[in-house]
Structure 1
Amino acid sequence: MADHHSCSCFRPSEFSCPFPARRRANLCVVRTFRRDNVRIVVTGGGTGGHIYPAFSIIKRMKERHPSAEVLYIGTERGLERELAPKSGVPCAFLRVEGLQRRVSARAFKTMFLAGTSFFSARRILKRFRPDVVIGTGGYVVLPVLLAARTLGVPSAVLELDAFAGLSNRLSGRFVNTVLLGMEAGKAFFQKAPRVVVTGNPRATEVLAVCEDEIARVCRTLGLDRSRPIVTILGGSRGARPINDAVFELLEKPRAHREQIVWITGQVHYEAICQRRSTMPVQKDVFILPYMDEMPALLSATTVLISRAGATILAELTALGVPAILIPSPYVTHHHQDYNAQALEAQGAAVVLSEASLAQGMLATQLSALLANPIRLEGMHKASQRMGKPDALTRIADEIERLLA
């Protein structure tokens, strides 16, 4: 058996218990909390929107409690299977799939996995003996948080979207605290014992970028900060309809001397560069497959054109970046529509449907914004009002409340 002190990644069956048997037996009866030896379980996964907040929380809690022992629990098939072991945080993986709403063979398989994953999660928690369990979203959180409930371990779930996912909604019925990234999420947790709008952890991290780093990134790209900078992205893997609309945008004269930073996504980068090579050479158009230093670029951005995932919205509202949002029509429950509408209602963003891109609406809306500095300033202020720059502190304070 692997010892979790010497191995940063393990399966539930490999998880060895570092505690004497006499301490394990009474887990459900007595939980001894020692401030100098905090044990924290963070669970969440499937997509980066659930994984990165989890590790942001882990980092902040380790700053507050340097001797804390932390365990991350994710799914076997999610993106976390690749990312989590690289973090150096001890981790375990459960075999679990998303809940099905229709009767089918897959639905029965999902129910079976849900049951087995609950008992696996319970075994892991009994052996690790956490003082608190935090869920950051994704279908893995439900069995882990339910196991925590049956063991009497305080817990919280973090919902970052305006439209709450099913696993988080169900978890909200029995956790101690629901932490929200957006005010609109309150509608889904009216029966939760405690609901707190904390913001998205990414909002805190994006503000940590210093002016020197922003200037360096702009120099590297060749950007002139005295002129408008338009940043275009379609998510970590890019978005073909947005990329097609950008080609149309590039065919029009840029009356406002704007510079365009086009982050295509790795999947589409080669094809776009090939197509771009057949077009007349244009200055001030910078094409990148991805951007590692996104916070610095966003800090210099005049207008952002983007999908409406919770993470990018947390970043742009923390910085107050005016945005044109194009919600993905392919995500569950169209939750990006709800996210985007929350910003639009406050005057912080313009929302376009993906279908409208074929009608040239992207170029029209961008030109209208750049021609109206007063409106841009109003969007900037509205966006900042929605931002939660102290999100990580708020989340950590709520975790401390559960630990007290």
Structure 2
Amino acid sequence: MKVVIAGGGTGGHLFPGIAIAEAINERYPTAEILFISTKRAFDATHLTLNNFRFQPISSPPFSLKPTFPIIFLKALISSVKILKQYQPNILIGLGGFGSVPPILAAIIWKIPFVILEQNYVPGKANRLLARWSKGIYSQWAGARKFFVASGRKFIHSGSPLRNSMRIIDKNSARCQLGISPEKMTISIVGGSQGASALNTFMLSEAEHLRSFKDKIQIIHLTGKDYENTVRKAYSSNGIESYVQPFTNEMAIIYSATDLIISRAGGIALQEIAHYGIPAILIPYPFAAENHQLANAREVEKAGGAIVIEEKCLQKGTITKIAGEFLSDSIKFLEMGRAIQSFAPYNAKN
């Protein structure tokens, strides 16, 4: 069996593909898998790290620039050539602009394909291509309303998680990070590329969190450029912290965490749900069709998160919630159980 997995560019698109590839290898050891990825360094780094074959193509996001048709046509021609040479039995589209040229090439060669949708509000590419797919595997039950014409092809599967997303003993995880095993641990995670607005906000919030410096500690994944500045802000306020630009050991981060502050991308929410971590969600306000806010509101409705829109962030907000956590941990345990209802127990199947 030959499988092509198409898409990437961010963790939200690429990581489910890696999870699926792992599951295929476990179930069908002789299967051959090829990723058609974007040319972003992120894809090459993680596919190489996980020992998967890949061929990158220049997949441009939709644009009104006059060069877009030319670049897109090149990506389509590259995809047609790759599929002709590889001749897969099936193609799996991961959503996003990186999956469009390979899916169109699959339609040209009459290769069956399925698509994954990680967001409550589906991307335009997936909505357009769904009619030709053999299946739409969605993270959200409520996304069905966007695929009414697809009927039984729509499957609420959840999004698959990588094998590395194992649950570790909390004290062990904290020891591996070199932080206190006793203190309440707040993690700030901006996604695979960090989040400058969250970093900037926490620089000022550190001053307020100082009042709890003997009771809390911070794990903060900043993305590039902010690491030293953020670390200094916590240090100057006497707050114990673990600050890194990025990590490939998210299982340790999640396992060590009591309360998480995060954007609201689909895969980030599946991972948080898997670990049952109560969340403060600050959706990225410029996501296509504001899909992160829609994701966050679904989790909030279930009682698993507090949602704060970026425009509503005020100094002292996080400190106030941290104080509530310290005085009423039962409330946050209930939030953790509520968000766990979104965990994809059988998504790989």
Same fold flag (TM > 0.5): yes
Q: Report the count of equivalent residues.
A: 346
Q: Which residue of 1 aligns with 2:67?
A: 109
For structure 2, the 5+ residue unaligned runs are: none
* Alpha-carbon distance in structure 2 between the residues aligned to 1:382 and 1:316: 11
Aligned mate of 2:190, from 224, 234, 240: 234
In the TM superposition, what are the counterparts of 1:72-151 in structure 2 within 5 Å? Answer: 72-77=35-40, 79-85=42-48, 87-100=50-63, 104=64, 106=65, 108-151=66-109
Q: Which residue of 2 aligns with 1:69?
A: 32
* Alpha-carbon distance in structure 1 between the residues aligned to 2:70 and 2:26: 39
Aligned mate of 1:340, from 296, 300, 307: 296
* Alpha-carbon distance in structure 2 between the residues aligned to 1:370 and 1:389: 30
Cα deviation, residue 339, structure 1? 1.4
Contact persistence 2:179–2:241 (CA under 8 A) = no
**Identity between Structure 1 and Structure 2 (%):** 28
Contact persistence 2:72–2:101 (CA under 8 A) = yes
Deviation larger for 309-318 or 218-227:
218-227
Is 1:218 equivalent to 2:177 in the alignment? no
- SS at 1:142's partner residue? helix
Is 1:375 equivalent to 2:331 in the alignment? yes
Cα deviation, residue 151, structure 1? 2.5
**1:183–1:371 Cα change, 3 Å:** farther
**1:201–1:171 Cα change, 3 Å:** same
Is 1:357 equivalent to 2:320 in the alignment? no
Tell me the amino acid that sits aligned with residue 229 of structure 1.
T
Question: Whose radius of gyration is greater, 1 or 2?
Answer: 1
Tell me the amino acid that sits aligned with residue 201 of structure 1.
P
Q: TM-score normalised to the size of structure 2?
A: 0.89
Is 1:173 equivalent to 2:131 in the alignment? yes
**1:345–1:133 Cα change, 3 Å:** same
Contact persistence 2:206–2:233 (CA under 8 A) = no
- SS at 2:67's partner residue? helix
Q: Which residue of 2 aligns with 1:249?
A: 205
- SS at 2:341's partner residue? helix
* Alpha-carbon distance in structure 1 between the residues aligned to 2:60 and 2:244: 34
* Alpha-carbon distance in structure 1 between the residues aligned to 2:242 and 2:256: 14
Cα deviation, residue 340, structure 1? 1.0
Tell me the amino acid that sits aligned with residue 340 of structure 1.
A
Deviation larger for 255-264 or 265-274:
255-264
Is 1:195 equivalent to 2:158 in the alignment? no
Q: TM-score normalised to the size of structure 1?
A: 0.78
Q: Which residue of 2 aligns with 1:50?
A: 13
Q: Which residue of 2 aligns with 1:388?
A: 344
Kindly provide the CA deviation profile for residues 112-169 of structure 1, in whole angstroms up to 9, marking residues without a partner as x.
4434433432332222111111011221322222222333322100011112112222
Cα-Cα RMSD: 2.5
Tell me the amino acid that sits aligned with residue 122 of structure 2.
A
**1:121–1:139 Cα change, 3 Å:** same
Cα deviation, residue 315, structure 1? 0.8
**1:50–1:152 Cα change, 3 Å:** same
* Alpha-carbon distance in structure 2 between the residues aligned to 1:85 and 1:297: 22
Q: Which residue of 1 aligns with 2:163?
A: 205
Aligned mate of 2:220, from 262, 265, 269: 262
